[in-house]
Amino acid sequence: MAEKKDDFYKDLDRSSVKKSYCSCLSFAVLFIFALVLIEVVLFWSAKSLRSNPVTPDMIKGIKLTQGTDSFSKNQVNDKETTVSISQGTLCAKIVEANKGREISCVITPDGIELSGKFSSLGFQNTKVVIVPYVEKEQLKFRVSDARVGNFKVPDVIGTGAAGLLNKTIKNNLPDLKDASVKSVELQDGVMIIGLKKL
């Protein structure tokens, strides 16, 4: 019986041992694969951030095609006035208010799209869509979309652009101080504000 037990153990010792997949070599291969994958993701992210640069030619084109005339006022009656702000005028005033940084703007029925660099710490290719609205007879602005390159970012990133737009309109439209805002409408290339004198 003792011989049978010894034979049994000898057979076990001779049998081939299966290799373990947890070795230093397999961990090294896994680590290298993870590094390559992370590099690919970072490269793609950086490429997406730089995909939509705003060039000076874009801004010059907008200014030349839309003109840089002043805000045009239309007296409806003795108390009511409408103010039309063209896309080119608005863009020129925003660039002036933003210390000459290159910014382009497009007015569509969906909102006012500002693209460019809004602060010294911001990205060159930030794009913000701002929607004007009337609240308690005052002109207000809210950010409906904010992007850096192709990435959607939190709308709070665009609050600086909304503040810049608000400041530009209030500085160039002194009638807002002595009037209540009745309406605001966006058309292709034009923003129309309805005012009523207080």
3-state per-residue secondary structure call for the chain? CHHHHHHHHHHHHHCCCCCCCCCHHHHHHHHHHHHHHHHHHHHHHHHHHCCCCCCHHHHHHHHHHHCCCCCEEEECCCCEEEEEEEHHHHHHHHHHHCCCCCEEEEEECCEEEEEECCCCCCCCCEEEEEEEEEECCEEEEEEEEEEECCEECCHHHHHHHHHHHHHHHHHHCHHHHHEEEEEEEEECCEEEEEEEEC
pLDDT value of residue 65: 38
**Per-residue confidence in pLDDT tens, the chain, 198 aa:** 555 666 666 665 665 555 566 778 888 888 999 999 988 887 776 665 554 444 444 444 444 334 444 577 777 777 888 888 888 888 888 878 777 677 788 889 999 998 887 766 667 778 889 999 999 888 899 999 888 888 888 888 788 888 888 888 888 887 777 788 888 999 888 888 888 887
pLDDT for res 63 = 40
pTM for the whole structure: 0.62
Q: How much is the pLDDT for 67?
A: 43
